[in-house]
A and B are shown apart, each in its own frame.
Chain A
Amino acid sequence: MGKTISEKILSHASGRDVYAGDIVVASIDAAMMHDGMGQLVMDAFREMGGKSLWDATRVAVVIDHVAPSAYESFSKVHKAMREFAFKHNTRFYEVGSGVCHQLMIESGLVFPGGLVVGSDSHTCTYGALGAFATGIGSTEMAAVFLSGKLWFKVPETIKITVQGELPPMIFPKDVILKIVGTVKADGATYKAIEFGGSTIEAMNVEGRLTLTNMAVEMGAKTGMIEPDEKTYAFLKALGHEPKKGFKSDEDAEFCESLKFDVSNLEPQVACPHAVDNVKPVKSVEGKEIDQVFLGSCTNGRLYDLRVAAEILKGRHVKRGVRVIVTPASRRVYREALKEGLIEIFLDSGCAVCNPGCGPCAGGHQGILAPGERCVSTSNRNFKARMGSSEAEIYLVSPATAAASAITGEITDPRRFLKGG
């Protein structure tokens, strides 16, 4: 019987011939912990009697959630994480390096066919490179640090086929919002999602990462995309020599198959307070906004910054609106500088912050006041996530975010089409 990518990776990592529903103990290729859970991981590791890591070269320690620290409490966490990383000689990403998922993607620790865990639910992002990657808690991360192994239930896979050419000003974020709005918040719980089809084949790897990043918003264990020439070229451009990944067999068994045609897709928005509360942007157009966040592991890459900068170029952010731009990594920041994108953001009145998570998780910056409304390119809009429980978060593409920044209200970016 044929296998899905997930079944192949978990068979490879467990040394057994396994299919959906089987429980395996599998060898981990890379593990990442960040400051949002670092203390709990280190505490559990110590309590379990941990002395050394199973393989320090496969471990990344990242400071990104509260970076730089805004509180003495977190400065202590960061201090302990530095000591931990240096003592065990792991890879260590200091304040300003970027958001953990972008760093993992750039690091070479993630490769097609690999099995990766992270102390963050958006670890599923790496599936765009053909890895099986999933978020775990702090206690399990400590167990991985000790043993290099973890148990998994091999997931069933939902096949999502996306077809059609994306219309102008429609982006991967609009595609994934449309999908989340259809599948709903628990539509893929315990399952893997495999994205495919002509739209995905035509999409650049940065856009694909936006799709897989939000697989967990449907409850999925991971989101995957079959690695192709674009995947290998992307990794080579980062200086890596990628291993050959897996493809699902023709006769692999999918538990569900969904098809989307995006050739007439409109800009999409996830309205408060649920990621699956998705509507066309035009249905909420005109709502006044207070803050725009351009960044995150969903949409803080160079491609996203280019899209936003193209709209903002020669224009100014509306008075009364603050725009926070957070490049996903130092590499992204540097490229954006070289291309002149940062200058465009500065000229238009944006606040450009250091790479990291930025305001996404409500940690240390861009906190919303009661009654405020934020347009964000991140992945969650839960009540109180970015500050007050009386604030609202609308999730959109970088284009919709930039257009809204200029007008001061939620805006369909097609208004800014060249020649439009």
Chain B
Amino acid sequence: MPGCGRAWKFGDDINTDYIIAGKYKLSITDIDELSKHAMEAIMPDFSEKVKRGDFIVAGRNFGCGSSREQAPLVLKRLGIAAVIARSFARIFYRNAVNIGLPVVECEDADEIQQGDMLEVDLQKGYVKNVTQGKVYKIKPLPSDLWEILAEGGLVNYVKKHGKLPWQ
């Protein structure tokens, strides 16, 4: 679960082709190799500069576009601790939870600046902006999804419980 890290700031409507473009998704099957191209179209050096435990911060409709699960997968593989956005596209949101990448809905995400040091506590339900000295509320994850996320995703959930959450 997330702790402290830097913010990487993006805008509204960040689509899945920006997160990982089709030309890579449809030619590279190794997720490590694929993750080198994350966010390439809009921030070419993102994968080199991002550090484990950092956060992606965005505006509205993060992850719109395709259902490619490679999108949350490459972010997780790069060590992104959580994606914090004003809102998410629905398939990306479900996919992220299902692979164990925390997604945080935060109305005040626009206040966060590139490079701000953040501290996120999902259970207590806040994002603390250490740089700006502010604390933002987050929308709690529905309990059913929290159970999946807390186990590190749906595959891990099944491995641990021997069944799907709805079985």
Contacts and interface: CB of A to CB of B under 8 A. Distances in A.
Question: How many interface residues does chain B have, given as a range?
Answer: 35 or more
Contacts of B135: none
Contacts of B73: 40
Main secondary structure of the interface of A (DSSP, over half): loop
Interface string A4-30: 000000000000000000010100000
Contacts of A135: 66-67, 91
A48 B159 contact: yes
A385 B98 contact: no
A139 B155 contact: yes
A301 interface: no
Interface residues of A, number: 56
A140 B153 CA distance: 11
A95 interface: no
B68 interface: yes
B94 A121 contact: no
A185 B26 contact: no
Interface stretch (A69-77, A166-174, A263-271, A284-292): A69-77
B15 A382 contact: yes
B106 to A, nearest CB: 16
B60 to A, nearest CB: 6
Interface string B82-95: 00000101110011
Nearest to A387: B23
A287 B37 CA distance: 31
Given A23-B144, A137-B67, A383-B41, A147 B91 contact: no
Contact of B40 (A44, A47, A71, A389): A389
A256 interface: no
B70 A186 contact: no
A149 interface: yes
A140 to B, nearest CB: 6
A262 interface: no
A305 interface: no
B25 interface: yes
B58 interface: no
A124 to B, nearest CB: 10
Interface in A338-396: 361-364, 367, 380, 382-387, 389
Nearest to A155: B90
B67 A37 contact: yes
B89 A139 contact: no
A15 B129 CA distance: 46
Contact of B90 (A40, A221, A386): A221
A120 interface: yes
A189 interface: yes
A189 B23 contact: no
Interface string B1-28: 0000000000001010110011101111
A385 B64 contact: no
B91 A74 contact: no
A45 B68 CA distance: 16
A40 to B, nearest CB: 5
A319 B56 CA distance: 45
Interface string B131-150: 00000000000101000000
Nearest to A364: B26
Interface string A140-164: 1011001101110000000000000
B69 A40 contact: yes
Contacts of B94: 136-137, 140
B79 interface: no
Given A44-B155, A121-B91, A189 B61 contact: yes
A114 interface: no
Contacts of B22: 361-363, 385-386
A3 interface: no
Contacts of A139: 69, 95, 98-99, 153-155
B167 interface: yes
Given A190-B90, A382-B17, A384-B21, A119 B29 contact: no
Contacts of A382: 15, 17-18, 41, 65
Nearest to B72: A137
Interface of A: 23, 25, 36-37, 39-40, 44, 47-49, 65-66, 70-71, 73-74, 76-77, 118-121, 123, 135-140, 142-143, 146-147, 149-151, 185-186, 189-190, 219, 221, 274, 361-364, 367, 380, 382-387, 389
Interface of B: 13, 15, 17-18, 21-23, 25-30, 40-42, 60-61, 64-70, 73, 87, 89-91, 94-95, 98-99, 142, 144, 153-155, 158-159, 164-167
Given A37-B69, A40-B70, A363-B22, 15 more contacts: A23-B142, A37-B67, A40-B69, A65-B26, A70-B27, A118-B67, A121-B67, A137-B67, A143-B164, A150-B166, A185-B13, A189-B89, A364-B27, A382-B41, A389-B21
Please name the 7 residue pairs, one residue from A and one from B, whose CB atoms are nearest each other, closest first.
Answer: A363-B26, A362-B22, A186-B61, A137-B95, A384-B41, A135-B67, A137-B69
